[in-house]
Amino acid sequence: MRVFNRRTLLDACAKHAPAAEALRAWWAEADKARWASIADVRADFPSADRVADRIIFNIKGNKYRLVVAYDFPRHSLFIKFFGTHAEYDKVDVAKVNQS
């Protein structure tokens, strides 16, 4: 999968240093994946959830949340939000767009 926007991810690593290693591990896994459906995503990340056209990933033992939009036919993911679980609880997943 092509993961867009790398700048958002790097900013998240800088802002949330305790999550940086786990976030980079997610990126490495997603970057080599060829997901065609949410079932494919869940094969690699069983706790992933889908809301509208977004997928929510638990990062670092669910202390952080990553929200991405997806375009499976184009093998693309678009980072929309990364933050603590508490920050995630304050956003509208279907509309959030940090990038």
User: What HEC string does 12-77 produce?
Assistant: HHHHCHHHHHHHHHHHHHHHHCCCCCHHHHHHHCCCCEEECCEEEEEECCCCEEEEEEEEHHHCEE
Please tell me the CATH code under which domain 2-88 is placed.
3.30.2310
pLDDT tens digits along 63-74: 999 999 999 999
Q: Is residue 99 scored above 70 in pLDDT?
A: no
pLDDT tens digits along 27-60: 999 999 999 999 999 999 999 999 999 999 999 9
